[in-house]
Each structure stands twice: as C-alpha cells, then as structure tokens.
Structure 1
Amino acid sequence: MIVAVGLGLALLGVVAILGLGASRLSTLSGRVGSFVCGARPVSPAGGAVVAGIAQYGAGRLDWWRAWSLSPRPTRTWRRAELEVIARSLLAVPGRPDLYLVQCRYREAEFALTMSPEAYAGLTSWLEAAPPSTLERVI
C-alpha cells in the first residue's frame, strides 16, 4: 500500500513537471517578438546545439532553453554589443532552410540556428538600433 502511494505521488510529480514545462514553452513561443532559436558555443567546434526560444526586448535579446523550468532567460545579449559576423546554410535533413549565424558578444563568439525569417528579423532589429560606430551585421 505504501509503495503504491509512493509510486502514485512520483507519477503525479512527473506529470506536473511535464505540464509546467509544456506550459512554459507555449507561453514563451506565444510572446510577441519570439522565435525558435538554437544556440551553441563556437569552440569546441561541432559542439551540440541547445534548443531554445529567443525574444526581442527593449535593447536586448533574451534566450531561454527549451527544456528548462527557469522563468528567467539563460542568456541575455544587449543589442549595442551584439554582432553578426557570419551566416551559412546548415545541411540538416528535413530542414533545408536553416541558418547557422555566428555572433560575437563582448569578445565571446557563439552560434545561433534559426530560420531565414528569424534571421531577417534579427538583422533588422540590429540595424534599427540607435547609430553607433560599430558594424554589427555582415
């Protein structure tokens, strides 16, 4: 009897966590200015891409891991310090329209994966920033 109650509570906990995660993903992806965006460090080469959702904020780009319960973004990049340094098409089976976008933020390089539409939005957002002496889009 005690084992059955313990298993039932454990199962209820797992279902609750999965429900919270699904609700979080739905909320993040439904926000204005959000788009699906994977991220990975440039080095080591060939590192794994972590799935996520990015959202434009007032002067910043916030990025959340897809599978996390954290209410806060995992990464935040200020628009004034974010640069796009390269872009290339990814050879992903079933996704011929996916870009790998190499970026630099405060001397740290990383790569984002996104659709062509998301890339157009990102470059437009960067170019719409107040004037500065930096070239941020290649």
Structure 2
Amino acid sequence: MGLWLGLILGGLLLAAFIAAAVWTSRMRTLSGRVGSFECGCRTSEDPPAGWKAGIGQYGAERLYWWRSWSLALRPSRYWSRTALVIVSREPMEEPGRVLVTCRAGDELFELTMSREAYAGLTSWIEAAPAAVGRVI
C-alpha cells in the first residue's frame, strides 16, 4: 500500500513539475516575441471583476491575445486589424497603465496595458494598409 501511495504521489509531483516547466517556457516564448506586451482583457460577457491577465502581440493582420494562466499553444482571442476600433482610453490608478475600450465588429471589450503598449497599438492600427474596395 505504501509503495503505491509513493508512486502516485511521485507521479503527481512529476506531472506538476512538467506542467510548471511547460508554462514557464510558454510565457518566456510569448514575452520574447517581437510586438508582444503585457495586456489584461475583459469582454462584455465577463463579470465586472473578470479581468484576465495575458500577453498581447501585434501580428500582420490580427492582434493576438494569450491568457497567462494557460498551457494553450494558440491564442485565446484575436481581433482583425481592419475591424479593430479604439472607442475610449482612460488612465488607471496604477501609474503608467491605461484602460482601453475597443470594438471589433459587434464585440466590445476592454484591454489594460502600459502607455507605451497603447502608443504601439494606435500606431499599429493606423499603419494598416488600406483595404481593397474601401472608399475613403
């Protein structure tokens, strides 16, 4: 009985160690990518205190967002660059951070980020190539 208990506990400890190593590797990889930044996210479906910590990254055509506390290899959310509109921006209590309300199509969501990341976001949106067939 003691041997089985030891094997089970050892297996659980090994699984926890492997999960922690994979999570650490994932976060280092995401944080080290060009165009990545710390970014909290809350959608209109989330409760008022439903902020989720994550990493945002500017792609060629989309803004990608990965949850911090996940082992997923794919982004949790992404929004098309051409559909993304900044509705409002306001400073947060935490110095150097801003709350950004965005819309992508019918979806309304909020992001928290540093002022520098916000400057990057606005530049990234403004630098989007004009869509074919779009009348200005």
| TM-score of the two chains, using structure 2 as the length reference | 0.90
Provide, for residues 28-49 of structure 1, a one-character-per-residue CA deviation record: whole Å limited to 9, x for no partner: 0000110110100145662321
Q: Are residues 1:122 and 2:124 paired?
A: no
Provide, for residues 44-69 of structure 1, a one-character-per-residue CA deviation record: whole Å limited to 9, x for no partner: 66232100001111111110001111
Q: Distance in 2 between matches of 1:51 and 1:64?
A: 9
RMSD: 1.8
Residue segments in structure 2 that go unaligned for 5+ positions in a row: none
Residue segments in structure 1 that go unaligned for 5+ positions in a row: none
Within 5 Å, which residues of 2 pair with 1:1-138? 1-42=3-44, 46-91=48-93, 95-131=94-130
Q: Distance in 2 between matches of 1:86 and 1:111?
A: 9
Q: Distance in 2 between matches of 1:22 and 1:77?
A: 26
Provide, for residues 67-121 of structure 1, a one-character-per-residue CA deviation record: whole Å limited to 9, x for no partner: 1111000111110000001000111xxx311100000011110000000000000
Alpha carbons 1:98, 1:114 under 8 Å: kept: yes
Alpha carbons 1:80, 1:129 under 8 Å: kept: yes
Query: Alignment length, in residue pairs?
Result: 132
Return the letter of the residue paired with 1:21. Answer: W
Residue identity (%): 48
SS in 2 for 1:80: coil
| TM-score of the two chains, using structure 1 as the length reference | 0.89
Structure 1 residues 45 and 72, CA, compared in 2 at 3 Å: closer, same or farther?
closer
